[in-house]
Amino acid sequence: MLELITSGGLANMVSITASVNLNGVAIATAVVAGVGLFIGLFLGFAAKTFEVEVDEREVKVRELLPGANCGGCGYPGCDGLAAAIAKGEAPVNACPVANSKAHAAIAEIMGMSIEETEKMVAYVKCSGTCDKTQVKYEYYGVMDCNKAAMVPGKGNKKCTYGCLGFGSCAKACPFGAITIVNGVAVVNKEICTGCTKCVATCPNKIIEMVPYSARHLVACNSQDKGKDTKAACAAGCIGCKLCTKACEYDAISVENNLAHIDYKKCTNCGKCAAVCPVKVIQIENEKVLLKKRA
């Protein structure tokens, strides 16, 4: 039978085969193109149908936030805060890291006015450095304040209210504003953004937020009676109330054997610090303390 196939017949068979192959490619191409077109139309329809409208104000507010995502505002990062501000669920100055200029710009976007407020910074209420505080035992556990606080007696220092000195606050600070100096955490208020992460981390709750301009600060957190405080730390507040008598502006009070300053009333006259017998009311700012203790 092979002998019966002429060269012309063979050429016709090749032509038919090539034609069939081309038709198959064309069909396959058309099918793929059709499927692609269908998917494209479906995705376009779905995107339009399920589109989530984004508040333009939210986008603008987010651009003004610092992007630190520290959580100091109480929301899950800057995106969460921007959404909350746009919805009117959070104040325009809720971000503790942003400066007053950014707050004013956010207020303008929201069509609101805002009073300029002073920056708040963290302050460690303890001056019980290694040379002033008594130690109950040597601690060889994990170098973490929260772990050490779980040991009976709340750490190895005799004062159970003071700084444990293992640096959990320094590790929690995303801006590097805290340093451990001579067994006590010290905040550099020039770097501190007021995110309050250190406040939440400290197991003894000795870190408080104070106005940036505050010059007189009570460097103690002990609530023991004067005699017990002195036995544990040479730099502790003894609750003598001499500071309250010296203050002419009723800006300082003694509660639970510990002096407290009302910074809204304080004029920084310094009379309370002058009469304090144990010099627990600090006049120097954190930078000076850092240099002295180093």
- How many structural domains are present in the chain? 2
User: Do 219 and 178 share a structural domain?
Assistant: yes
Assign residue 261 the CATH number of its domain.
3.30.70.20
Q: What is the mean pLDDT of residues 147-172?
A: 90
Q: Is 35 a domain residue? A: no
The arithmetic mean of pLDDT across residues 235-255, rounded, is 95
Do 66 and 182 belong together in one domain? no
User: H helices of 115-247, where?
Assistant: 145-148, 168-172, 197-201, 226-232, 242-246
Which helix (H) or strand (E) segment holds residue 25: the answer is: helix 7-49
pLDDT at 188 over 90: yes
Residue 16 included in any domain: no
Are 193 and 97 contained in the same domain?
A: no
Strands in the chain per DSSP E: 120-124, 178-181, 184-187, 207-211, 217-218, 252-255, 258-261, 281-282
- Residue at 27 is within a domain: no
Among 109, 45, 145, 71, which residue's Cα sits nearest to residue 79?
A: 71
Which domain covers residue 89, as residue numbers? 56-109
Same domain, 92 and 217: no
- The predicted pLDDT at position 292 comes to 44
143 inside domain: yes
pLDDT of residue 290: 46
Question: Cα–Cα distance between 125 and 220 in angstroms, integer?
Answer: 5
Q: Is residue 211 part of a domain?
A: yes
For residue 154, tell me if it sits in a domain: yes
146 and 95 part of one domain:
no
Same domain for 124 and 265, yes or no, is yes
pLDDT surpassing 80 at residue 263: yes
Residue 282 region by backbone torsions, left for phi larger than 0, else alpha for psi between -120 and 50, else beta:
beta
Of the two residues 288 and 259, the one the predictor is more confident about is 259
For residues 97 and 134, give the distance between their C-alpha atoms in angstroms, rounded to a whole number: 37
In a domain, 246, yes or no: yes
Task: Please report, for the domain that includes residue 61, its CATH number.
Answer: 1.10.15.40
Binned at pLDDT 50, 70 and 90, residue 220 comes out as very high
Determine the average pLDDT of the residues in 269-290: 77
In 3D space, the residue among 176, 174, 181 whose CA is nearest the CA of residue 197 turns out to be 174
**Mean pLDDT score across all residues of the chain:** 84
Is residue 128 assigned to a domain?
yes
Q: If you average pLDDT over residues 21-44, what whole number do you get?
A: 73
| Segment 115-118 long-range contacts (CB within 8 Å, at least 24 positions apart) | 117/93, 118/211, 118/212, 118/213
Do 197 and 243 fall into the same domain?
yes
| Residues 68 and 183 grouped into a single domain | no
Report residue 260: phi and psi, to 5°: -130, 135
pLDDT bin (cut points 50, 70, 90) of residue 250 is: very high
Q: How far apart are the first and last CA of the chain?
A: 106
Measured CA distances, 256 to 114, 162, 184, 225 (Å): 37, 15, 23, 8
Assess whether 105 and 159 both reside in one domain. no
Q: Are 142 and 248 part of one and the same domain?
A: yes
Same domain, yes or no: 162 and 88: no
- Compute, in degrees rounded to 10, the torsion defined by CA atoms 244, 248, 250, 253: -10
Q: Are residues 90 and 140 in the same domain?
A: no
